[in-house]
DNA sequence: CCTCACATGTAATGAGTTACATGATTGG
DNA sequence: CCAATCATGTAACTCATTACATGTGAGG
């Protein structure tokens, strides 16, 4: 999948600016597909505008910079549908974190612990976000499936990592960003 | 992570040719990190040879083409260690399959079913491979962690997908490539 | 006879990231 | 006053993929 299709997908749900798309991809409802930087989002929108897949509405805001709100057009919806049918890759299970874990005896223990904890924090953060989202998505929708899948997979990862702490020679309770404080 | 580091990692375990590296990344013990094509593997090996990170041994085989068996050097091990400490990205949970699932009402049901089944087949295949591997990896090793993590995550995905069949409007039992026959 | 598995490589192409470039307003 | 958030965009660069190019031997 490319950034164009991702943007088109987001715009199929809601009008958005390049900036808002970036936020949605980083954190929001669309953070579980692919990553995208400003350097790919803005050119994608410009190109799609030229191709007639999206339209712009320039919003003048008080006390804030000019915002270009993009909307999907009928041609855009068609193009999205088309892209959806052409996506060939089923996604493979890949993880760079696991690569680091594989060579755990090659890295120094402090670093291993840091990597492990960062990964753990990320996963816990994701789980929290997913659980928050659950309230706002309607059951049976595409979003609900995405959330459910995410929840299942991320929980499993967290659970396995928690169980593996000792076998990796890591201290049992690191900082616990949740319960404490 | 780049292909160079991936190759270096594989060569840290065993001497291998470009061809064998490709196979290991496609299917074998090293299939859970990143993808790599011949077009990236061969140049990576050539470059690392020039940099002194690997050495070659040309094997003349009966009835088979010339094979270049690459081994990691001391400098290579150092470089790997270094790369391992510099890998910044914790891996995010991303899935293009979920993008397709999100727009399930935009694609035709036949296509959705096909995508779903392909994904399911892939996951089941992975699970089978992981279970096979379990016998040959020693407990407590990096490989064991990779296998365990993979098993946990892939099983969770399979289970959730199985449970979601009906809510996606898909037939309960498609072809069942396991039990039947 | 033809295709598959083995085996190595290059060049064009494509897609994205990083860093650069700019600028207003708000809150500490 | 400085940093962060909001907001848009470009250009150089990196990295990998795809397609091309070549060749053998085994098995159906």
Per residue in B98-140, pLDDT (tens digit) is 999 999 999 999 999 999 999 999 999 999 999 988 888 888 8
Q: Is B9 a member of any domain?
A: yes
Q: Is the pLDDT of residue B179 over 60?
A: no
- Report the residue from A85, A93, A145 with minimal CB separation from B111: A85
CATH number of the domain where residue A51 is located: 1.10.10.10
Taking all residues of chain A, what is their mean pLDDT, rounded to a whole number?
A: 90
Q: Which segment of A85-89, A105-109, B8-12 scores lowest on mean pLDDT?
A: A85-89
Same domain, A78 and A103: no
Distance CA A170, CA A108 (A): 12
pLDDT of A50: 96
Q: Mean pLDDT, to the nearest integer, of A110-129?
A: 92
Q: Which segment of A70-84, A162-176, B48-62 scores lowest on mean pLDDT?
A: A162-176
CA of A61 to C1' of D21 (A): 58
Distance CA B11, CA A39 (A): 35
Distance CA B90, CA A115 (A): 7
In 3D space, the residue among A28, A133, A148, A67 whose CA is nearest the CA of residue A9 turns out to be A28
Q: Mean pLDDT, to the nearest integer, of B149-153?
A: 97
Best of B28, B116, B152 to substitute, by most chain A Cβ atoms within 10 angstroms, is B152
Same domain, B103 and B134: yes
CA of B66 to C1' of C5 (A): 14
**Residues sharing a CB contact under 8 Å with residue B162, sequence separation 6 or more, in sequence order:** none
- pLDDT tens-digit map of A94-117: 999 999 999 999 999 999 999 999
Q: Is B179 a member of any domain?
A: no
Using 50, 70 and 90 to split pLDDT, how confident is the model at A90? confident
Q: Is the pLDDT of residue A146 over 50?
A: yes
If one counts the domains in chain A, the total is: 2
Determine contact: A168 vs chain B, CB below 8 A.
yes
Determine contact: B114 vs chain A, CB below 8 A.
no
Best of B102, B127, B146, B163 to substitute, by most chain A Cβ atoms within 10 angstroms, is B102
Same domain, A11 and A77: yes
Per-window interface: B 52-111 vs A, CB < 8 A:
77, 80-81, 84-85, 87, 89-108, 111
Taking all residues of chain B, what is their mean pLDDT, rounded to a whole number?
A: 90
Q: Is the pLDDT of residue A181 over 50?
A: no
CB < 8 Å to A108, chain B = 85
Q: Mean pLDDT, to the nearest integer, of A50-79?
A: 90
In 3D space, the residue among B128, B103, B118, B126 whose CA is nearest the CA of residue B161 turns out to be B118
Helical packing angle, A18-26 and A38-50, nearest 10°: 130
Distance CA A116, CA A97 (A): 8
Q: What is the token pair recorded at B43?
A: 């140049």
Which of the given ranges, A7-11, B90-94, B169-173, has the highest pLDDT on average?
A7-11
pLDDT of A180: 37
Same domain, A9 and A29: yes
pLDDT of A176: 47
pLDDT of B140: 87
Using 50, 70 and 90 to split pLDDT, how confident is the model at A135? confident
Same domain, A78 and A114: no
Distance CA A154, CA A122 (A): 10
Q: Is the pLDDT of residue A74 over 60?
A: yes
Strand D close to A113 by CB, under 7 A:
no
Using 50, 70 and 90 to split pLDDT, how confident is the model at B173? low
Q: Are B158 and B123 in contact (CB under 8 A)?
A: yes
Q: Which segment of A98-112, A164-178, B55-69 scores lowest on mean pLDDT?
A: A164-178
Using 50, 70 and 90 to split pLDDT, how confident is the model at A23? very high
Q: Is B152 a member of any domain?
A: yes
Same domain, B119 and B166: yes
Using 50, 70 and 90 to split pLDDT, how confident is the model at B175? low
Q: Is A91 a member of any domain?
A: no
Q: Is B29 a member of any domain?
A: yes
Q: Is A75 a member of any domain?
A: yes
Same domain, B13 and B71: yes
Q: Is A24 a member of any domain?
A: yes
- Report the residue from A9, A101, A142 with minimal CB separation from B146: A101
**Residue after which a domain boundary falls, among A84, A104, A124:** A84
Same domain, B73 and B28: yes
Residue A14: give the domain boundaries.
3-84
Determine contact: A9 vs chain B, CB below 8 A.
yes
CA of A39 to C1' of D14 (A): 14
| 3-state per-residue secondary structure call for chain B | CCHHHHHHHHHHHCCECHHHHHHHHHCCCCCCCCCCCHHHHHHHHHHHHHCCCEEEEEECCCCCCCEEEEEECHHHHHHHHHHHHHCCCCCCCCCHHHHHHHCCCCCCHHHHHHHHHHHHHHHHHHHHHHHHHHHHCCCCCHHHHHHHHHHHHHHHHHHHHHHHCHHHCCCCCCCCCCCCC
**Residue after which a domain boundary falls, among B84, B105, B123:** B84
Give the number of residues written for chain A.
Answer: 181
pLDDT of A172: 77
Distance CA A24, CA B54 (A): 43
Same domain, A64 and A132: no
pLDDT of B6: 98
Distance CA B139, CA A112 (A): 19
Strand D close to B45 by CB, under 7 A:
no
**Residue after which a domain boundary falls, among B84, B119, B142:** B84
Same domain, A76 and A102: no
User: Rg of chain A's alpha carbons, rounded to an integer?
Assistant: 20
Determine contact: B29 vs chain A, CB below 8 A.
no
Same domain, A78 and A100: no
The verdict on a CB contact (< 8 Å) between B126 and A93 is yes
Chain A residue whose CA is closest to B12: A103
User: Can you say whether the dihedral through the CA atoms of A134, A136, A140, A146 is positive or negative?
Assistant: negative
Q: Mean pLDDT, to the nearest integer, of A72-76?
A: 97
B40: nearest nucleotide, CA–C1' criterion: D16
- Report the residue from A6, A146, A149 with minimal CB separation from B157: A149
Same domain, B71 and B128: no
B63: nearest nucleotide, CA–C1' criterion: D25
| More reliable by pLDDT, B176 or B48 | B48
Distance CA A121, CA A133 (A): 18
The verdict on a CB contact (< 8 Å) between A157 and B149 is yes
Q: Is B117 a member of any domain?
A: yes
Q: Which nucleotides of C are covered by protein (CB under 7 A)?
A: 6-12, 15-20, 23-26
């Amino acid at each position: 999948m490319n950034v164009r299709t991702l943007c088109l997908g987001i715009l199929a749900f809601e009008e958005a600016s390049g900036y808002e798309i970036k936020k949605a991809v980083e954190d929001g409802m669309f953070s579980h597909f692919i990553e995208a930087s400003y350097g790919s989002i803005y050119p994608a929108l410009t190109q799609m505008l030229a191709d007639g897949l999206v339209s712009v509405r320039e919003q003048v805001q008080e006390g804030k910079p000019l915002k270009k709100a993009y909307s999907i057009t009928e041609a855009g919806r068609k193009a999205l549908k088309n892209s959806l049918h052409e996506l060939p890759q089923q996604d493979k299970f890949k993880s760079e974190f696991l690569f680091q874990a594989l060579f755990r005896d090659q890295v120094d223990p402090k670093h291993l612990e840091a990597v492990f904890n960062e990964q753990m924090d990320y996963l816990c953060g994701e789980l929290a976000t997913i659980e928050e989202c659950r309230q706002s998505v309607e059951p049976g929708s595409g979003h609900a499936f995405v959330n459910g899948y995410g929840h299942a997979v991320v929980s499993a990862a967290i659970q396995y990592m928690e169980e593996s702490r000792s076998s990796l020679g890591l201290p049992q309770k690191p900082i616990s960003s949740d319960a404490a404080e």
